[in-house]
Amino acid sequence: MTQLDATMDAKAIATIRGIAMDGPHEARSGHQGTAMSLAPVAHVLWSRIMNFDAANPNWFDRDRFVLSPGHASILQYSLLHLYGFGLSNQDLREFRQWGSATPGHPEVGHTAGVEVTTGPLGAGLSNAVGMAIAEESMRARLGAEVCDHYTYGICSDGDLQEGISHEAASLAGHLGLGRLIFIYDDNKISIDGPTSISFSDDSANRFRSYGWDVTEVGNIGEDLNALEAAILAAKDVTDKPSLIVLQTEIGVPATESAGTNHVHGYAIFDEEIAATKAVLGLPANEKFFVADDVLAACEASGTRGAALREAWDARVAGYDGDRSELDALMGSTPLAGWKDALPTWEPGEKEATRKASGKVVQTMAEMMPSLIGGGADLTGNTGTTIADLGVFSADDRAGRQLYFGIREHGMGGAMVGMAAHGGIFPVGGTFLVFSDYMRGAVRLAALSKLPMVFSWTHDSVGVGEDGPTHQPVEHVASLRAMPGLDVWRPADANETTAAWIAAVEADGPTAMVLSRQGLPVLAGTADRDAVHRGGYVLADSDTDAEIVLISTGSEVQHCMAAASTLRNEGIAARVVSLPCWEVFERQDAAYRSAVIPADLPAVSIEAGSTFGWARYANTTLGIDRFGASAPGDLVMEKLGMTSNAVAAAAKELLGR
């Protein structure tokens, strides 16, 4: 393997540190210190350890790198520039500016070479756990000739204080993810001051208790050979994830700010930058200086994986296994004929949408090799059981059922990493009310446009006796407010199947909001093309409609019943099912106005917050309070979720 000599190593590290000062100073915003102190270990990872081909940053079998403290993004951008990923010196100069390739925190899909969107602390570590799960799964099923790589990451004190890191690290240790290696930057500094003011965990022993291999290497942050040896030793541990605890001095070698909490952010200005550059052997007054020989050496190092990639290309081209499964796995796509294999129901049958979804999941697992999933200790409850295809564990890497344990946030973060890795379509389930616990991960999935399904069940006060702590009220409205997330609340089993098709074909994540209670299968919901428009006319009157009744989920049945009641009283009503607002809003204006005409009065009903419904209805029936503990049907009735309430509201609106 091509390796830089000691002189070039020193010059490259000095260059990274210079850029780490210049980028935030040019932007008057950013984080200098962590990037400076981590420059040596990051350089060792990229120049000596990781396998990648900078000219082909999406090569499937590359090693993955996750910078969990994403505030130190200037470090990653410096590496991407030096190692030839196409990030220019001008891009570095536009750090944190509008439209630049160097945003304040790394964003996957925005900057070549960035694997996941990091910034919210702890999230990157959880994503890396998901990446390691994905690698193990695909290696077990396709063989090492197709999938054989590592996931490396850097985490900080802040990452280890956030709860998501505890959940994800516990899961990684339980699963024995031996190809996951993290370097913990134990610099003992946070924004408020030394970490001792709020943090006294024994992190090393905590990770040992999780089942990680932990090596405490002390303050070897400037010893490149010792750093390399520690990482290579971690690679020899095959049955556990590894944590290398490295003590660094934040901001080193800044002449005044090193070691202070101020340099965690933007603290090194003109005179200190010049003085520190003098220490580093860089031109004191030249911004973003990269010597020609440094750039050439690092770019050459960035091509060292080209031969590995070419050999991999040849192996994949000559793959003698099941080619259809290989292609479906690599592309995260279903097998041919998958839509025809999905279950359907006849009008008049009764099925909870969570159970209908469970039947779809089972079929999808058989027709989509990349689908892996489970629940947060609620697998059967949330329709995320995958039977007869094995359980992913330390002993069976090919299993498709994944038990996440009671770790909603960690589950979401791992799902993000699995999807970002590629080759995996993750599914994770819990009760809708507990989506609050995983909201940060869901937001990153939406921001990153990663296809996956969050199966959130027990979607209303219909949960019943468990009471208001378990009865979601505001959740659907709040999830609809999140950009990039399609929120499907199907009216019955057939709409559920259609929603799953939409989720598999979507360009981002899908929230599947599903009922605990059984719902009648309605006539007209089997029209998948109609359902896939997000909203459609489910039932219309024989004469011109006088009013529109609009709903989602378990309340669509009430609109159908109310329309019948109104018809008997001489009032012509149209029923609109609106299972996915986001998809409906992407339809053209002509279609939307044809479904919900602006000149017709409308009543909406949904067993949750009425927030947002005013865009579609003049009268909005919902639940703008917390629920109550009682049988679900009774709670629904007491809170006005009935066909009688819809009919009464319609007549009042019409002045009848």
Q: Rounded to 5 degrees, what are φ and ψ at 569? A: -100, 10
Contact (CB, 8 A) for 62 and 53: yes
* 63-110 per-position pLDDT tens digit: 999 999 999 999 999 999 999 999 999 999 999 999 999 999 999 999
Angle at which helix 73-82 crosses helix 33-44, to 10 degrees, equals 40
d(CA 560, CA 539): 8
625 residue type, one letter: R
Q: If you average pLDDT over residues 325-335, what whole number do you get?
A: 95
**Section 230-249 average pLDDT:** 98
Contact 358, 386 (CB under 8 A): no
Question: Which SS3 state, helix, strand or coil, does residue 431 take?
Answer: strand
88: buried, middle or exposed (CB in 10 Å: 19+, 13-18, 0-12)? exposed
Question: In Å, how far are 31, 68, 187, 202, 546 from 196, measured between CA atoms?
Answer: 21, 21, 11, 12, 68
Band (pLDDT 50/70/90 cuts) for residue 3 is: confident
The 3-state secondary structure of 169-180, one letter per residue: HHHHHHHCCCCE
Contact by Cβ (8 Å): 263, 254: yes
Mean pLDDT of 158-171: 98
| Average pLDDT value over all residues in the chain | 98
Which residues is 339 bridged to in the sheet? none
Contact indicator for 42, 30 with CB cutoff of 8 Å = no
Q: What is d(CA 235, CA 242) in angstroms, rounded to the nearest whole number?
A: 8
> How do the domains of the chain map onto residue ranges?
6-308, 338-520, 531-654
User: What's the average model confidence in pLDDT over 537-561?
Assistant: 97
Is 408 a known active-site residue?
Answer: yes
647's tokens? 């009919």
Q: CA 94, CA 23: separation in Å to the nearest integer?
A: 8
Residues 435 and 475 sit within 8 Å (Cβ to Cβ) = yes
3-state secondary structure of 547: strand
Fill in the amino acid letter for 364: M
What is the model's pLDDT at position 2? 60
Helices within 391-464 (DSSP H only): 408-421, 439-448
Q: What is the pTM of this model?
A: 0.98
Closest CA to 218 of 192, 191, 187, 193: 187
Q: Say which DSSP state 401 is in.
A: B
Q: Which of 408, 495, 582, 606 is catalytic?
A: 408
Percent of the chain with pLDDT strictly greater than 90: 100
Q: Could you check whether 6-308 and 338-520 share the same CATH topology? A: yes
d(CA 492, CA 487): 15
> Taking residues 268-277, what's their average pLDDT?
98
User: What architecture is the 531-654 domain classified under in CATH?
Assistant: 3-Layer(aba) Sandwich (3.40)
- Secondary structure E strands in 28-150: 64-67
Given a cut of 70, whether residue 39 has pLDDT beyond it is: yes
User: What is the average per-residue pLDDT within 202-230?
Assistant: 98
Average pLDDT over residues 625-651: 98
> 618 pLDDT exceeds 90?
yes
Chosen CATH of 338-520 out of 3.30.1130.10, 3.30.930.10, 3.40.50.970, 1.10.357.10:
3.40.50.970
Cα separation, 37 vs 75, in Å, equals 10
- Report d(CA 313, CA 548) in Å as an integer: 57
What pLDDT, on the 0 to 100 scale, is given for residue 564? 98
Residue 1's pLDDT is 44
Q: Do 45 and 231 contact (CB within 8 A), yes or no?
A: yes
Residue range 6-308, CATH number: 3.40.50.970
Predicted pLDDT at 353: 98
Query: Buried b vs exposed e over 573-604: b needs ≥16 C-beta within 10 Å?
Result: bbbbbbbbbbbbeebeeeebeebbeeeebbbb
pLDDT in tens, 108-140: 999 999 999 999 999 999 999 999 999 999 999
Mean pLDDT in residue range 339-345? 98
Closest CA to 438 of 474, 415, 409, 479: 409
Q: What is the pLDDT of residues 585-605, one digit of tens each?
A: 999 999 999 999 999 999 999
Q: Phi and psi of 120, rounded to 5°?
A: -60, 120
At 496-516, the pLDDT tens digits run 999 999 999 999 999 999 999
Spatial strand order in the sheet of 371-375 = 371-375, 425-431, 452-457, 509-513, 486-488
Give CA–CA dist 330/100, Å, rounded. Answer: 30
